[in-house]
Amino acid sequence: MSNNLCGLLSATFHEAGCEHLVELIHQRDAHARRRLASIDVAVYAADGAALHQATLDPRLDVIDLAALVAGIPSPPRRVLVTFDARYDERIFPYRPHHYGYVHRRGGRGAPLYYAVSAVLGGVPDRIGATNINNFESYLFMPKTAAGTHSVLLGNVARFAPSPIEVITYHGRTRSSSAVTLAPKTHAEIDLPAERDGGRLERVEVKSAFRVASYIVGRRAESEELVLFDHLFTYAR
């Protein structure tokens, strides 16, 4: 394989009971010339154990992530999934994007369509995305369909643990919690809806280096996902 190929490693989370499709190539063209050079998928348990690794056909448009995970013997309730792509920057002058579609089977809510978080690569300076990306934040609407919120965090590094601080703002109350994730491990950090009488207004995630992070909202009674989105890079 050419040494001139660019790399992009994206990551998402899959939970049991969900339909979950991932578009490997979001930017299709009429002649279907936009193909990745290669793409590998890997699935990890919360403790970092590698559950599945495979090379995908880069001609695939969409993979059924739920079916892939269902093929793993006794899969855990939630897994971290990485997509390790190589691409020619002449074909993807910006960078390729993977997009996900997730919906609780039999759920009453709308399906969620989201951009799979690009964790490693993508040459941010080439695309103008030069904000510090290991400080991220998310602002919550005053009214939300979610009964509970959390952040999902995953460390895709090969060797290095990542200390991560999760800071919440409820009105004037600032609280923080810390977690250290070993390579390929992940964790869900619950965000209280209220604290000291104030509602959850903002969350910040600060890590030593970029990690996979998603903000998650669930219905209180059914835990159905109603929000699954990336955080935003911190900028003053």
The rounded distance, in Å, linking the Cα atoms of 29 and 140 is 36
* Residue at token pair 């619950």: 190
Could you tell me how far CA 133 lies from the centroid of its own chain? 14
Question: Of 68, 125, 116, nearest to 96 (Cα)?
Answer: 116
| Backbone region of residue 171 per phi and psi (left: phi > 0; alpha: psi in -120 to 50; beta: other values) | left
- Least gap, CB of 105 to other proteins (angstroms): 33
- Least gap, CB of 4 to other proteins (angstroms): 8
* Closer to other proteins by Cβ: residue 17 or 124: 124
- Least gap, CB of 86 to other proteins (angstroms): 8
* Closer to other proteins by Cβ: residue 65 or 118: 118
For residue 212, what is the enclosing H or E element? Answer: strand 212-218
* Closer to other proteins by Cβ: residue 115 or 193: 115
The rounded distance, in Å, linking the Cα atoms of 204 and 178 is 12
- Least gap, CB of 128 to other proteins (angstroms): 12
The alpha carbons of the chain give a radius of gyration, in whole angstroms, of 18
Burial (0-12, 13-18, 19+ Cβ within 10 Å), 70? exposed
- Residue 108 structure tokens: 């009453």
* Closer to other proteins by Cβ: residue 14 or 210: 210
- Least gap, CB of 12 to other proteins (angstroms): 15
* Closer to other proteins by Cβ: residue 20 or 95: 95
**Residue ranges binding other proteins (CB under 8 A):** 3, 6-9, 118-125, 132-134, 156-162, 208-211
* Closer to other proteins by Cβ: residue 35 or 95: 95
CA atoms within 13 A on the CB side of 134: 12
- Least gap, CB of 6 to other proteins (angstroms): 7
